[in-house]
Amino acid sequence: MTAARSSVHPESLADELLARLRVHGAIPRHVAIIMDGNGRWARERLLPRPLGHRSGMKAVREVVEGALQAGVEYLSLFAFSQENWQRPATEVGALMSLLEEYIAREVSELREQGVRVRVLGDLSRLTPAAARAVERVVGETAANEKLTLNLFISYGSRAELVRAMRALAEDVAAGVLAPSDIDDAAIAARLYTADCPDPDLLIRTSGELRISNFLLWQIAYTELFMSPVLWPDFGRRELFEAIVAYQSRERRFGRVSA
Residues classed as catalytic: 36, 84
Reduced to 3 states, what is the DSSP secondary structure of residue 138? helix
Instruction: Classify strands 30-34 and 115-120 as parallel, antiparallel or unpaired.
Output: unpaired
DSSP-assigned states of every residue in 186-200 = HHHTTSTTTTSPPPS
- CB-based burial of residue 207 (10 Å sphere; 0-12 exposed, 13-18 middle, 19+ buried)? middle
Alpha-carbon distance of 194 to 223, in angstroms, equals: 20
The 10 Å Cβ neighbour count of residue 66 is 24
- Contact status, residue 43 vs residue 55, Cβ threshold 8 Å: no
- Contact status, residue 187 vs residue 179, Cβ threshold 8 Å: no
